[in-house]
Chains A and B, each alone.
Chain A
Amino acid sequence: EDQVTQSPEALRLQEGESSSLNCSYTVSGLRGLFWYRQDPGKGPEFLFTLYSAGEEKEKERLKATLTKKESFLHITAPKPEDSATYLCAVQATTGFQKLVFGTGTRLLVSP
């Protein structure tokens, strides 16, 4: 069964304090790994797709990396507006386009 585990469950940072969020996964065959940001009471907002081990993607203060077992979302010099829940999801080569989500990391960045 495809599974996604995210850690830590919650993370408090001071503004400017860089850190990383972890997404560990087991999947029969990886078609894609997706990172989303979700604000309270809203739907997830797409951030990155990673397709193969070694791949990296960057957007502003965020950088996502991928290995065969896990993905990291690195946040450099975060700002309070980066506070949100970050979700990781995998799509297997089987399973007809289905995304399997982790439970997310709740990030709070204090000024």
Chain B
Amino acid sequence: GAVVSQHPSRVICKSGTSVKIECRSLDFQATTMFWYRQFPKQSLMLMATSNEGSKATYEQGVEKDKFLINHASLTLSTLTVTSAHPEDSSFYICSARDLGPSNQPQHFGDGTRLSIL
């Protein structure tokens, strides 16, 4: 149980392109999903918290107009990197938490490797 699917697994595109990443909880419902960014040999850094049916909460320093988040259902959240540039190249990972107490574990997707040329 508690499977999170993330798609695509890898994207290579030109500078200026917008890229959409999908995160789905396959066998549970998630009112809250999370988007992280991870640089090589570094920790996961939370970018934003996505709540179903409401606006996402962004961490300090994360541009909400650059990283658009939509959480339209209890099983799907999307992250769109708008007008991506080489500095946006990174490993993006989503997670989802099952309904219930907020200290239940987050379950992670397998990440999306984004490379902007």
8 Å CB contact of A49 from B44, B45, B95, B105: B105
**In the complex, chain A residues whose CB is within 8 Å of the CB of B85:** none
**In the complex, chain A residues whose CB is within 8 Å of the CB of B41:** 103
In whole angstroms, how far apart are the Cα atoms of A49 and B102 in the complex?
12
Q: How far is the CB of B112 from chain A (nearest CB, A)?
A: 10
Contact A87 B103 (CB under 8 A): no
Tell me whether B56 is interfacial, beta carbon within 8 Å. Answer: no
Contact mask for chain B residues 83-117; partner A; CB cutoff 8 A; 1 contact, 0 none: 00000000001010100001111111111010000
**In the complex, chain B residues whose CB is within 8 Å of the CB of A31:** 102-103
Given contacts A41-B113, A42-B111, contact A99 B93 (CB under 8 A): no
**In the complex, chain A residues whose CB is within 8 Å of the CB of B97:** 97
Given contacts A31-B102, A43-B6, contact A104 B43 (CB under 8 A): yes
Contact A97 B102 (CB under 8 A): yes
Contact A43 B111 (CB under 8 A): yes
Tell me whether B2 is interfacial, beta carbon within 8 Å. Answer: yes
Contact A97 B108 (CB under 8 A): no
Contact mask for chain A residues 85-111; partner B; CB cutoff 8 A; 1 contact, 0 none: 001010100001111011110000000
Contact mask for chain A residues 34-64; partner B; CB cutoff 8 A; 1 contact, 0 none: 1010000111111001010000000000000
Contact B111 A49 (CB under 8 A): no
8 Å CB contact of A32 from B42, B95, B103, B108: B103
**In the complex, chain B residues whose CB is within 8 Å of the CB of A97:** 32, 49, 97, 102
Contact mask for chain B residues 16-53; partner A; CB cutoff 8 A; 1 contact, 0 none: 00000000000000001010000001111110010000
8 Å CB contact of B2 from A34, A41, A46: A46
- Residues of B near any A CB (own CB < 8 A): 2, 4, 6, 32, 34, 41-46, 49, 57, 93, 95, 97, 102-111, 113
* Shortest beta-carbon contacts, A-B, top 6: A43-B108, A32-B103, A101-B43, A103-B43, A31-B103, A101-B44
- Residues of A near any B CB (own CB < 8 A): 31-32, 34, 36, 41-46, 49, 51, 87, 89, 91, 96-99, 101-104
